[in-house]
């Protein structure tokens, strides 16, 4: 239960920053957030693959964790264009983002592939940041909770509570709320979904572990809704896109939610 009180805050820079852009972003971020301890906030950045090695060097002595945006489930093999967990471990990656809406809906990743990726990340001792969320059509049909249950139950069907306890984070990111065309979520809708997600996690992993898994919210998070969303006890952190791609904005939002 203790773990969920900690704040989780980070960004995925999608396909926007080159190595040079990422290096500059991270240098500024390390400088701006050097006084924030991991107990105050678990900070993380998820840049593009090509920038990961440079990013790792810059983050080495910082309190900011480094993530990758995707990963293959196999350690090696005939998988042209893929990056394996072994390769990410070699760089020193802490977190692997799995099943982001753009992976699922632009590149056709299935729930079953997502499951294999979550298992591979955990097997290699990296934190799996499992992204789940319903589309607008599913929301309009009022089957959002069923969709979230299916995504969670498929991805976690073979995960042990003892592993999940240490190496699993969830990000609830409704597809219709993400990106420039996304609609910011209402507090009441977010509360209902996060409550449901928590109950499914308890169902799958048991009371203790189910309650301890950090569940973040993502999708059009901004300075206006960040604090409102975090006032829900079932929302343990924020996974931010556009609003955090400048170090000064990342830092400003972080201090706003920490109220410092
Ligand atoms: P956004 O992206 O904050 O720009 O909507 C969120 C995400 O894709 O994680």
Q: Does the pLDDT of residue 184 top 90, yes or no?
A: yes
State residue 4's pLDDT score. 43
Per the CB < 8 A criterion, the answer to whether 122 and 159 are in contact is: yes
* Rounded distance from Cα 229 to ligand 1 centre (Å): 15
Give the number of domains in the chain. Answer: 1
Q: Does the pLDDT of residue 3 top 50, yes or no?
A: no
- C-alpha distances (whole Å) from 59 to each of 27, 121, 130 are 8, 21, 23
- CA-to-CA distance for 226 and 252, rounded, in angstroms? 11
State the maximum Cα–Cα separation within the chain, in Å, rounded to a whole number.
Answer: 50
User: What are the tens digits of pLDDT across the range 34-57?
Assistant: 999 999 999 999 999 999 999 999
Helix (H) or strand (E) holding 129: strand 127-132
Helix (H) or strand (E) holding 46: strand 41-46
Place of tokens 């009022």: 142
Domain at 35, CATH number: 3.20.20.70
- CA-to-CA distance for 242 and 56, rounded, in angstroms? 22
Per the CB < 8 A criterion, the answer to whether 167 and 121 are in contact is: yes
Which of ligand 1's atoms lies nearest the C-alpha of 177? 5
| 108 HSE (CA, 13 A, CB side) | 0
State residue 5's pLDDT score. 61
- Mean pLDDT to the nearest integer, 235-256: 98
- CA-to-CA distance for 142 and 147, rounded, in angstroms? 10
Q: Does the pLDDT of residue 75 top 70, yes or no?
A: yes
* Rounded distance from Cα 251 to ligand 1 centre (Å): 17
Indicate the average pLDDT of the chain.
Answer: 96
Per the CB < 8 A criterion, the answer to whether 133 and 99 are in contact is: no
Measure CA 194 to chain center: 14
- CA-to-CA distance for 13 and 171, rounded, in angstroms? 15
Percent of the chain with pLDDT over 70: 98
Nearest CA to ligand 1 atom 3: 241
Catalytic residue among 100, 124, 194, 196: 100
* Rounded distance from Cα 13 to ligand 1 centre (Å): 9
Counted residue by residue, the chain has a size of 260
Which of ligand 1's atoms lies nearest the C-alpha of 243? 3
User: What are the tens digits of pLDDT across the range 213-232?
Assistant: 999 999 999 999 999 999 99
Is 246 noted as a catalytic residue in this protein? no
Is 207 noted as a catalytic residue in this protein? no
State residue 25's pLDDT score. 98
* Range of the structural domain that residue 82 is part of: 2-258
Catalytic residue among 102, 119, 134, 173: 173
State residue 169's pLDDT score. 98
- CA-to-CA distance for 131 and 135, rounded, in angstroms? 13
Q: Does the pLDDT of residue 1 top 60, yes or no?
A: no
User: What are the tens digits of pLDDT across the range 143-171?
Assistant: 999 999 999 999 999 999 999 999 999 99
Question: What's the pTM value of the predicted model, to 2 decimals?
Answer: 0.96
Which of ligand 1's atoms lies nearest the C-alpha of 178? 5
Q: Does the pLDDT of residue 8 top 50, yes or no?
A: yes
Which of ligand 1's atoms lies nearest the C-alpha of 12? 9
Question: 68: which strand partners?
Answer: 96
User: What are the tens digits of pLDDT across the range 94-142?
Assistant: 999 999 999 999 999 999 999 999 999 999 999 999 999 999 999 999 9
Q: Where do runs of H (alpha helix) occur along the chain?
A: 19-32, 52-59, 85-91, 101-105, 111-123, 136-140, 144-156, 161-167, 187-205, 207-212, 226-230, 247-258
Pocket of ligand 1 (CB under 6 A): 12, 173, 178-179, 182, 218-221, 239-243
């Amino acid at each position: 239960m203790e773990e969920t009180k900690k704040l989780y805050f980070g960004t995925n820079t999608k396909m926007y920053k080159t190595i040079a852009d990422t290096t500059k972003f991270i240098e500024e971020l390390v400088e701006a957030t050097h006084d924030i301890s991991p107990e105050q906030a678990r900070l993380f950045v998820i840049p593009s693959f090509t920038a990961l090695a440079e990013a790792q060097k810059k983050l080495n002595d910082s309190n900011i964790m480094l993530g990758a945006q995707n990963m293959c489930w196999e350690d090696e093999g005939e998988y042209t264009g893929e990056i394996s967990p072994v390769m990410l471990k070699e760089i020193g990656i802490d977190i692997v983002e799995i099943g982001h809406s753009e992976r699922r809906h632009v590149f056709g990743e299935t729930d079953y592939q997502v499951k294999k990726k979550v298992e591979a990340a955990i097997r290699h001792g990296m934190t799996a940041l499992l992204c789940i969320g319903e589309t607008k059509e599913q929301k309009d049909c009022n089957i959002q909770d069923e969709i979230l249950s299916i995504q969670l139950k498929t991805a976690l069907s073979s995960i042990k509570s003892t592993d999940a306890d240490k190496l699993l984070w969830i990000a609830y990111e409704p597809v219709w709320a993400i990106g420039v065309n996304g609609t910011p979520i209402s507090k009441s809708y977010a509360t209902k979904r996060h409550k449901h997600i928590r109950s499914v996690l308890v169902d799958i992993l048991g009371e203790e572990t189910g309650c301890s898994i950090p569940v973040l919210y993502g999708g059009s998070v901004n300075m206006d809704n960040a604090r409102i969303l975090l006032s829900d006890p079932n929302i343990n952190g924020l996974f931010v896109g556009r609003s955090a791609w400048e170090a000064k904005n990342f830092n400003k939002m972080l201090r706003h939610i920490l109220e410092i």
